[in-house]
Each structure stands twice: as C-alpha cells, then as structure tokens.
Structure 1
C-alpha cells in the first residue's frame, strides 16, 4: 500500500475521487471509517434485499473461471483487495497471474530508516512471499513503474495487462483496483484493466481499498447494484491472513520514529479480514456480471449487456482527430461560437459548484464552464484531444481533464451541472437510456442537466438530435426548465420536478 499526493513529492496524504464537490481528502494516518459502520451498512442492505426475496450483494457464478489475472498498483493491494479470491481460485486449480505495477517505494516518503530503493527491494520480496502463501504456483510479475507516477502510464500498463489476459477473454477474470478508489495510481491501473476488459471481453471485477477508509456509508459511495460478494472458505481466509502478515513493512512500523508508521494499521486491516470480498462489476462491460448467481429467483441475475447495441467507439474519434485537430470547428465556426453562447446563457444560475462535461473534445466549452464553476470534470472517449483541452484550461485550477468511456465509466460524485453537448447521438438508444439514468442519479437536488444537439441526421450516428432529447425526456425522470429550438439545433435545460416551476428567487417576486 502506498499513499501519495496526486502530484508533487509524496507526503503520506492523497485525495479521494477527484470529481464532483464531495471528493474527500484523506491520509492513512486518519482514523477513517470504522469497519463496524460498513458492516452495519452491508447488513441493512442484505436484510432489505432478503425482505424483497432476493440476495444482495449478488454472488458471481465462477463456473466459467479458468484463469484469474489480478492487477495491483502497489505490493499488498492484491492481497488486501483480492487475496481471498486468489487463494480460493488457486485451491481449485485455477491458473493465477498477479501483476503489480510498482515496487511501492513511495509508501514511507519521510522514513529515516529506509531509502526508497531499499524499501522497493523489501516490498517486492514481501510480495513474493505473500503471493506464495495465497497461490504457490501463481505467476508474479512486478513492472517497477514509478510509485505515484502511474497516471501518465496507463497505456504502458494496458499493454502489460493485455499480454497477461491474451487476445480473447473467455474464461478470464480480470481483477483490478476500483477506478474511483481515490488514489491516482489505483485509478490508472483500473483504467488500464477496464480498457483490456473492453478489448477482450474478459470479466472485470474491481476491488475498493481506500474507499473503505474515506467513504461514508450514508453517502453510498459504491454503485450498490454493481456490488458482488465472493464468499471465502476458511482456508482462503487463513491464507490471506498469512499473506498480509508477510507485508511487515506495511502492517508494522518500520521503527518508532515519525515517518515510519504502518500504512495498514490494525483498524484499517480489519476492513479486509471478513468472510467475503466485495467487488464492483460494471454491467455495461462485456462479461461483467454476466454470470452473477442469485440466491433465489431469476430477478437477481445481472444482465450480461443491458446497454447493448453498438455506438461510436474511440477508434472512430481517433480517426477524426488524426485527420483534423479540430474536426468540428469549435474554435472557428460561427455556428459553434453562437451555440456555445446560447448554451451558457440558458444556464439558470451564474455559478455552479461542480460540473461534469462528457465529450469535452479540445476543451473550448470546458474553458467557459471553468470560468463559472468551482470545479469541472471534463472527459472524452479519445485521448487525442485531451492534450489540447488540458492546455486550454491550464490556468483554471478547478478543471480536471480525464479520459472516460461512457456510460459505464461514469465518475464517482455528485454534480449541480451536467452538460451533454453534441454527444447523445453517438449512443444507441439503450446506451443513451443508461447515460440518462446515470446523469439523473448524479445530480444534486438543485442540479441542472443541459443537453444541446444538432438536429439533422448524420449517416454515421445511431441517433439524431431530436430523438436524443425524446429519450432524455422519457427516461431521465427530469423535467425541462428551458426549451430552445432552431432549425439546426435543440437545447433543453432539465431539472428535478420540484424545480421545474422556475428558479427565480423570492427576492424577485412581484
């Protein structure tokens, strides 16, 4: 386990999910959320599900499991998050591969006892001993990428993971850190694993680690409908305990000196000692949750691919940007300039706390949003335009640019502004329905969703703009506050029903 800031030298602190207004800061030295609080939350959910005649969390059907590939950012992540699964799979003869991205040299940046090089050597040795306890025949590889520096190496990690999974993912479970765990290295490894799952069709399970520490059960930080539980036989639990004991540099102090404190103290370790391991599956990914086994009744089964259909993928947009750095003329066309001005004028408030703009492209609208919002998360399916978006918004500290594939890679957090500008028609109807649900669920009570789309049909696009807005109105549960219709584009501002009567404050009442 390594705790570092998102950038700059390691300090023993990091931020939680870097999106939305609720992104927490945390340190491994903080008390954190008590395991008992999570047990109570989980128990309440189990009881409610049982009363409804179903089982929650669902239990993955492992009859298709032939190979298990577990990916970790740092030595001990694999044991904390998936050690029981590794041990149980190995005990039944499943082929196990463990891939660790870094040697974990940044876990104790202020240590007076061990240099980063010595710590790296120690932690790799601990990893070999720990994995040996879990799965004696497992293949273990350490990439020795820089601890704390994985955010810029997602492509490298993706290649390494894909080589372990192989070209076809049938029978493969790929297990990786949860992308929204709050640590930039965990996110990088999670993104790489998600990309490999998308390419190969293997089943992806994501394990939270730091979310148990910073998360608030009352705030429901996990997508509960995507939570699955792997029961652990006692032999697997015992193997996991022994494996964690091997990580002496993490579970014990390096010395009594300040800076040598354990990164996994007993209270934090307790999160990982139960009779099951919890994972997050993404129902939008091929294979994810496809084999989820209900305790009773067919209603518990998670559908294999509820989104379905084929929208436009990253390859389509990569080709567009390869031919033209600004293929839609965001910076030069009067149509785009005027449409942006209309969209910004339609927003019912001068400022917002936290905005999310999927499909940000080269960041022209992103910059305008950044001037009116405390924080903006902007994302695109293609990596190519994001460099320009980052450059364009470099002087706006509240703007963060990320690569995400929606709807399934929807960010953690809540927003009071979500902007769907010229992206809905790239989706199939099923994908857009999923996107609308994700967006509505992420809106604060006073939140605003603005949608703006070109109305004319385009041969490559699954939908046209009018159909996009029909689906948003029918499936989001939101109501229009503003409607603007022109021959070329349609713009609507959606709010929750309670706010649909208007947003003018009482100071302007007549």
Structure 2
C-alpha cells in the first residue's frame, strides 16, 4: 500500500500534462454508450463519483442511458481530529451534499436517462471487511450490456482499491466493460515512475458535462472547503488537488468485454488446475520439455545467487531453476497450482513459494537484490499497464548486470488482451541489451541484461 496523506504536496496537474496525459488514447462517447444498456458507478465516498466520473455520468444520462450510482460510505472518517463535527454529523452532511451533487449531474430532456442513487452506509475506511453488501449491490444492478465504473484498484487508498477489485469481478461475471477512475493516484504517483497511465483512456467532456461536473463538485463543500478555521477542520481536497479533475476530460483504465486481466487470474487458473492437474502438459509434452531445456541452456551463468520466477505454475521449471540458484522465490496466482509446485520442490529448503497476483502483490524485494528474473508464459495474462508495472518492478529488483528472461508462445491467446509478440515488444522498451534471442514458429525466448545506471 502506498503511504501518503492529502496534506502532502503531491504531483501537480501540470506535471501530468507535461508527461503526455492529454495524448493518451481517446474514448469515443457515441461508441461507448451506444452499446450500453445501463451504467453503474461504484464509489467509496461522496465526491469520488463526481471527481472521477461526474462527466461520464452526465454524458451517459444525456445519451438516454440509466445510471446507478452506488456510494458505499459517507466518508465520515475524513476529519478524525475535528472538534466541531462528529462522525455522525459528517455522515449526515455528506449525505445531503451527495444528493445535491446528483441533482447537478442530472440531465434534462425527453431522452435523458434516469439517475438512481444508492447509499450503502458502510463504515468509512473499512470497506475491505464489508465486501458482501457491496457485491450484492453490484449484482442487483448489473446485467446484460452494462458498463461498470469504479475507483481504481491501484489508487493507494484501501477503500478505493477493494472497490476496483470487486467491480472487476462483477464485470468479468457479466462480460461487462469496466472503467476504473484514479483519484489519489494523481496525487502520489509520479509520471516517470508510474508509466502505466499511458495505456489508459481519455474521455473528453462536452460543455454541458464539464459544467455539470463543476457544479456537482461545488456541492461537496465539506471536502473542498475547511469545516471551520479550527485545527482538525482543514480542507480535505486542496485547490491544487482539484486541478486534476478540471481538465475537461476524465481518465479511465479500461477492461473491455471478453478480456481478462490480473484480477481474474486466481479464479480462472484455480478452476483450470482443478479440472486438469497439468493443463499445459509440462510433465508429458515433448514441446514443453524441449522449450524448458532451451531456456535453461540459454542462461548465461551456471548458478545465480537470487532468482525470481513469475508464473511458476506447478513447479516443473521451478525445480530446475532451484538446482541453479542459491535462493529461489517462485510466484503464482493459483493456490491450486502451488499445491503441486510444493511437491515438485519438496526438500529444497532454499526455495520459497508465494501465492500472489502481480503487479498488485509483487513481492517486496530490496532494490538490486536479484540476479535473475524469469517471466515465462505469463506476460499475456496481464493487461498492458499491468505488464508495464511488472517489468518496472522486476527492473528495480535486478542488480546491474542482472538478467531478465522473457519466453512466450507466439500463437493467439484467447480471452486476454496481449499476445506473445506484444509482451516481448514491451519488454524490449526497457532498452536493455538483448544477450540471447531464440525464435521458433511456436515461441520466442529472449534474455535481456540490465546495464549499470539503468532506472531502478
């Protein structure tokens, strides 16, 4: 979890603009709303819905699409040191402000959609422990051809992140489009260290939506102005912070219908390994055995001090890497696969197995602590921004001269956004020396070496 407070100076809106935020891919509103029967906006606190998706709400309504806004808490924990407002008083105040903001976002006209507000009244700051009512609210309103917008799963705020994950689950179950709107990300992240934003999308707002969003934001007075002049009542959303949301556009991370991303990996692969113990035939396929032998033969060093294997599956390759390493950390999203991997590396005390979904749960490693990272047959099970984060984290963990192995199938990958060629193209953007390249009709293997002075 990212450590930050709203009182930090943060990254300025102009810094993001200079980094190319306005040049990212555009969303076509006519195409976006034409295919949607309804829109669900899932927010953790009052103001999230307006900051991140106020324009989306207004534009959807203007297209005649019904919108359900689900607000999980009233943000009553925002001013714990206030001597003028109790949590209960803040909750009541926020409830009234939220209703006023919704009035500002409603569109007028015979074709306008209907705006429905649903307040769950859950505990602010504790949404991860209250998932069932959130899931139930999503299921109640989700359906065929719906669009689900939520706070971003990588936003750095625990309430925002759990909603992003719950919305991702719901969207996958209903084959729905999922748009995630960052909020605190703009405050704590830095463009050069968080380049994933380049894979997101920009929805340009029309004049009516821009105006409605500004008026709705003004309704959230208890957050955009101080509660009083007394200590503990300071403004929550500073003028500099609000500039991130007055750019005439809204930024979304998108997961399209029919495509999965890392959030779906544990369930998808647990089911796969539950149906077939060795679905890719790592133990019996000559192709798999030969590919593994080629990978191992291509490693420049006979032995490595510290190795990270991402996507270790049932541990067949892990056991071989363990024989050439002093310490091996093998990671997979599937608990079912890892149960087999434990048997494969039994007795190898220098091997650690970790269930984790990367990039969100990328292992906490000291910078420069690894000599080798193996990314084999799993890069296309990530979205583009997720892969970029995994590559950046791997780069940071590798020492100068460390090696990154990238090996992937080259045929189409159904149900996932990337293919092997794209994974290797993105890995190549690290700009590192390619010390090994082995290409066949079925797979591509590359080994990249981190130079001295490389970022991370």
Instruction: Give the TM-score normalised by structure 2.
Output: 0.66
1:162 has 2:136 as partner: no
1:317 has 2:242 as partner: no
Kindly provide the CA deviation profile for residues 180-224 of structure 1, in whole angstroms up to 9, marking residues without a partner as x. Answer: 111111110000011111111111111110011112123244341
Query: Cα distance 1:439–1:93, how it changes in 2: closer, same or farther (>3 A)?
Result: same
Residues 134-283 of structure 1 mapped to structure 2, 5 A cutoff = 134-135=105-106, 137-166=114-143, 168=144, 170=145, 172-225=146-199, 227-282=200-255
Contact 1:126–1:246 under 8 Å retained in 2: yes
Partner Cα distance (2:36, 2:228) in 1: 42
SS at match of 2:141: helix
Partner Cα distance (1:474, 1:196) in 2: 31
Structure 1 gap ranges (5+): 1-14, 17-24, 47-54, 288-304, 325-344, 390-398, 453-461, 463-468, 482-492, 501-510
Query: Cα distance 1:473–1:74, how it changes in 2: closer, same or farther (>3 A)?
Result: closer
User: Once structures 1 and 2 are overlaid, which stretch shifts more, 119-128 or 136-145?
Assistant: 136-145
Please point out which of 60, 63, 85 is paired with 1:89: 60
Query: Cα distance 1:471–1:235, how it changes in 2: closer, same or farther (>3 A)?
Result: closer
Offset at 1:431? 4.1
Partner Cα distance (2:240, 2:446) in 1: 44
Partner Cα distance (2:186, 2:310) in 1: 28
Kindly provide the CA deviation profile for residues 367-403 of structure 1, in whole angstroms up to 9, marking residues without a partner as x. Answer: x9xx989xx99763569999xx9xxxxxxxxx9x886
User: Once structures 1 and 2 are overlaid, which stretch shifts more, 134-143 or 177-186?
Assistant: 134-143
SS at match of 1:147: coil
Corresponding position of 2:442:
none
Structure 2 gap ranges (5+): 108-113, 278-300, 343-351, 408-412, 414-419, 437-444
Corresponding position of 2:100:
129
SS at match of 2:304: coil
Offset at 1:38? 1.5
Corresponding position of 1:56:
25
Partner Cα distance (1:213, 1:176) in 2: 18
1:348 has 2:304 as partner: yes
Please point out which of 274, 286, 302 is paired with 2:257: 286
Corresponding position of 1:50:
none
Partner Cα distance (1:433, 1:38) in 2: 22
1:497 has 2:449 as partner: yes
Corresponding position of 2:345:
none
Contact 1:179–1:187 under 8 Å retained in 2: yes
Partner Cα distance (2:387, 2:12) in 1: 34
1:70 has 2:41 as partner: yes
Contact 2:373–2:394 under 8 Å retained in 1: no
Query: Cα distance 1:473–1:197, how it changes in 2: closer, same or farther (>3 A)?
Result: closer
Corresponding position of 1:31:
9
Superposition CA RMSD, Å: 5.1
Q: How many residues align?
A: 379
Partner Cα distance (2:50, 2:64) in 1: 19
Query: Cα distance 1:436–1:37, how it changes in 2: closer, same or farther (>3 A)?
Result: closer
Query: Cα distance 1:139–1:411, how it changes in 2: closer, same or farther (>3 A)?
Result: farther
Contact 2:270–2:336 under 8 Å retained in 1: no
Contact 1:433–1:471 under 8 Å retained in 2: no
Instruction: Give the TM-score normalised by structure 1.
Output: 0.60
Offset at 1:263? 1.0
Corresponding position of 1:113:
84
Query: Cα distance 1:114–1:185, how it changes in 2: closer, same or farther (>3 A)?
Result: same
Residues 308-457 of structure 1 mapped to structure 2, 5 A cutoff = 314=267, 317=270, 348-349=304-305, 380-381=333-334, 404=357, 424=377, 431=381, 439-440=390-391, 442-444=393-395, 446=398, 449=404
Contact 1:383–1:403 under 8 Å retained in 2: no
SS at match of 2:183: coil
Contact 1:306–1:430 under 8 Å retained in 2: no
Offset at 1:111? 1.2
